[in-house]
Homo-oligomer: A and B are copies of this chain.
C-alpha cells in the first residue's frame, strides 16, 4: 500500500521543510538545495522519497528539473488523523463530516 510511503515521506524534518518551501511555488533542484547545508545529492534523495509518496511532481524545463507540491497526497494523513480527532475535538470531526457530505 502507498499509505506507508506518505507517512515515510513526512517523517523527515528536511522533507517537511522542502514541502513548506514548495508551497510558494515550484523550484529547481539547485534552488532547493541552496537552502540546506547538505550536498545536492542528499537533497535529490529527499526529493525522490517525496515523489514516491506522491507529495511532489517533477517536470523538466531545459536542463532543470522543477519540483512542485502535490498536497492532495496529504489527504491520506488527514483522513488518518481525523479518525483520532474524534477523541479530542468532536466538533471539528463533525464539521469535517458535514463538509465531506456536501461535496457528494
Contact = CB atoms under 8 A, between A and B. Distances in A.
Interface of A: 4, 7-8, 10-11, 13, 16, 19-20, 23, 69, 71-72, 74-75, 77-78, 80-81, 83-85, 87-89, 91-92, 95-96, 99, 102
Contacts of A89: 99
A57 to B, nearest CB: 13
B74 A81 contact: yes
B77 A23 contact: no
5 contacts: A69-B87, A74-B85, A74-B88, A77-B81, A91-B102
Nearest to A93: B99
Nearest to A69: B87
A43 to B, nearest CB: 19
